[in-house]
Amino acid sequence: MKIKKLLTLALSLTIAGTLAACANKTETKKDDKKIVVGATAKPHAEILEKVKPLLEKEGYALEIKVFDDYTLLNTALNEKSIDANFFQHIPFLNNEVKQKGYKLTYTTKVHLEPMGVYSKKITALNDIKNGAEIAVPNDPSNEARALRLLEKNGLVKFKEGETITPRDITENPKNLQFKELDAAQLPRVLDDVEAAVINTNYALEAKLNPTKDSLSIESKDSPYANIIAVREEDKDSAKIQALTKAVNSPEVKKFIEENYNGSIIPAF
């Protein structure tokens, strides 16, 4: 009788183990067909919405997680709470990898968001007053990008290098002062500063049109194209390849060209 009970228990455990294994396989298979991408709202999440039906045709479900704080996106990707992110350019990613040791890379360029100079107090950069305060992003790659745009307009000069700050000024004829702020805050301080250099996604959220409202804007040959970032280990996976193909599709290119009127430019 005891042996019969043991056999019954063993059989029950075997069946339970088999069911658990089947459940795990089913869940894994389901996860392989789901792609979770973290993104900032404009224009990244908007573009990804156009990617959804393209991936559905390939058997994948795209979930878009919108982040208000872009500084959390690479952490989320590194910690595997998302499969990819879409918000940054290559120099920004490279700096994050260098500073934080993330094992992240990118698969493709999607679009360029030309950075622009905006003001509520002047209508031309030549009108900037002596000693005026200009707001710029405070993260390393975007700050350097903003300062180079000001340099290109002849307002100030900096030393050579990929990463520069106001401390690297070599010539400052108008004695400009720089206010370093989180990129998302820049549109909100336009009433308080002479001008601000703002990323296009935050300009759009503030109802600013880069091609109409900016005093100066980056040229189309800027190296700061926005990318799809992924973990190095997942770069060649089937679902990441499917995502890459979809974001570089003719349909997405057409959407960018028609929806943003030149304020955002396809990079593929």
Higher pLDDT, 14 or 110: 110
pLDDT of residue 145 exceeding 80: yes
CA 143, CA 162: separation in Å to the nearest integer? Answer: 10
What single DSSP character describes residue 174? Answer: T
Residue 25 has pLDDT above 80, yes or no: no
Q: Which of 123, 266, 114 is nearest to 198 (CA)?
A: 114
Q: Which two tokens stand for residue 203?
A: 């300009």
Q: How far apart are the first and last CA of the chain?
A: 73
- Give CATH 3.40.190.10 domain extents, the chain: 33-113+224-266, 116-217
What CA–CA distance (Å, rounded) separates 261 from 264? 7
pLDDT at position 7 is 47
Q: Which residues contact 153 (CB under 8 A, 6 or more apart)?
A: 117, 125, 216
Q: At what angle do helices 238-247 and 46-57 cross, to 10 degrees?
A: 120
The region of weakest confidence among 2-11, 178-187, 213-222, 223-232 is: 2-11
Residue 140: pLDDT band with limits 50, 70, 90: confident
- The whole-number pLDDT of residue 31 equals 62
Question: Quick one: fold of 33-113+224-266?
Answer: D-Maltodextrin-Binding Protein; domain 2 (3.40.190)
84-89 and 157-158 as β-strands: parallel, antiparallel, unpaired? unpaired
Closest CA to 60 of 250, 228, 268, 237: 237
Mean pLDDT of the chain: 90
Query: Kind and range of the H or E element at 239?
Result: helix 238-247
How confident is the model at residue 117, as a pLDDT?
Answer: 98
Residues 119, 126: contact at Cβ < 8 Å?
Answer: no
Per-residue pLDDT tens over the stretch 65-110: 999 999 999 999 999 999 999 999 998 999 899 999 999 999 999 9
From the list 265, 99, 119, 83, the residue with the least C-alpha distance to 191 is 119
Close Cβ partners of 56 (under 8 Å, ≥ 6 residues apart): 62
**Topology of 116-217 in CATH?**
D-Maltodextrin-Binding Protein; domain 2 (3.40.190)
Percent of all residues in the chain with a pLDDT value above 90, rounded to a whole number: 76
pLDDT of 12 reads 52
- The tokens describing 53, both together, are 């039906």
The answer to whether residues 181 and 135 touch, using CB atoms and an 8 Å cutoff, is: yes
